[in-house]
Amino acid sequence: MIDHYDWPGGREAMLRFGPDTGPVVVMLLPLFEEHNRTRAFAVTICRALAAMSVASLVPDLPGQGESVLATQSATLADWRNAVKSLSEAQGAVRPVFMASMRGGAVADSVAGVCGVWRLSPITGYAVLADLQRAQSIGGEPNLSMSGPDSPPVNLVGNLIGWPLFNELLNDDVLREALAPLRTVRLESDPAPADIKFPGAPLWRRAEPGNDGALAQLLAADIADWVLACGG
Amino acid sequence: MAPRIARGQEGTGLDQIGEADVEATVRAVLRDILGISVGRVAAFTDDTELFGALPEFDSMAVAGVLTELEDRLGILIDDEDVDGEMLATFGALTRFAAARALH
């Protein structure tokens, strides 16, 4: 179901799955190229959650997807503001959980949610480094920005303005979750996690892909954890 | 921009890693990132041609392969060291990764 939510800067589209009552999981997808590669996978997780009677939302962030805000005008502050507005609106009527994947973690520290679930979280700094690597491996000059007067930079097709570039550059530590945190990773990932699952990192592949089995495992983990947190 | 921060280094138990582990990791990364079957990857030898020969291993896939190697092996790869030579064969890529993982 296609729906929308409001935030101080305007109105954005979102996908809505599952029941109208009970806990709702706000899914924050990876950023930029990784978003494209994992969108179908994320929707598969949401559909699996719905089958487990857990609702979920996949919001466009300002400057993403169908947003009327130009991509180069997107800022991390706006993303966080939009997620906060969505969470507060939902939180007025049902328990809200955040579930972020990869760079979505830059916007998941919202007050008032019941819990935060993260899949292979990365910092804004790492997001930017990945884009710059793809850019330089592709033979393009290694683009950086010097200050507020720099024009938006095009990193492998993603237009990024100075505010967002600077915000991501300085986001070099995973933000503390403001609610109980559960970190999930793949078995191939040596970093610490509460649990690890078998599967390939779809976000690293060149083309979009899906993994139904992994989606089921992740949905079950989210659902179990939501219920355990009293959702 | 400041150098990339190596991930996966703390408490990863990578201190005992050997050449065989590096080779196994390179195989697993190629399998996972390029979507190649287990059987096909298992058959890769030192001389198996990669970049430019494997249809799956194009320039879009290179960044993902390198970053995944960094994460799994706890190493840092300087983009300036990346060239056609170290990507040309399975042996070359493995030796490149091993040089950074084992010291």
In a mutational test of the B interface, the residue from A160, A204, A210, A211 whose CB has the highest number of chain B CBs within 10 Å is A204
pLDDT tens-digit map of A5-25? 999 999 999 999 999 999 999
DSSP bridge partners of A160? A153
More confident residue, A65 or A143: A65
Long-range contacts of A149-157 (CB under 8 A, 24+ apart): A152/A72, A155/A32, A155/A128, A155/A131, A156/A33, A156/A131
Structure confidence at residue B13 (pLDDT): 47
Nearest chain A CA: its distance from B37 CA (Å): 12
**Three-state secondary structure readout of B32-75:** HHHCCCHHHHHCCCCCCECCCCCCCCCHHHHHHHHHHHHHHHCC
pLDDT tens-digit map of A170-217? 999 999 988 999 999 999 999 999 999 999 999 999 899 999 999 999
Mark yes or no for CB contact A129/B4 under 8 Å: yes
CB A110 within 8 A of CB A181: no
Structure confidence at residue A140 (pLDDT): 74
CB A98 within 8 A of CB A113: yes
With CA atoms as reference, report the closest residue to A106 among A2, A182, A29: A29
Q: Assess A170–B contact: CB distance below 8 Å, yes or no.
A: no
pLDDT tens, position by position, for chain B (103 residues)? 545 555 444 444 445 678 899 999 999 999 999 999 999 999 999 999 999 899 888 877 899 999 999 999 999 999 889 989 999 999 999 999 999 999 7
Q: Assess A138–B contact: CB distance below 8 Å, yes or no.
A: yes
Residue that has been written with the tokens 């109208």 in this structure = A20
pLDDT category, A231, cuts 50, 70, 90?
low
Axis-axis angle for helices B90-101, B59-73 (nearest 10):
30
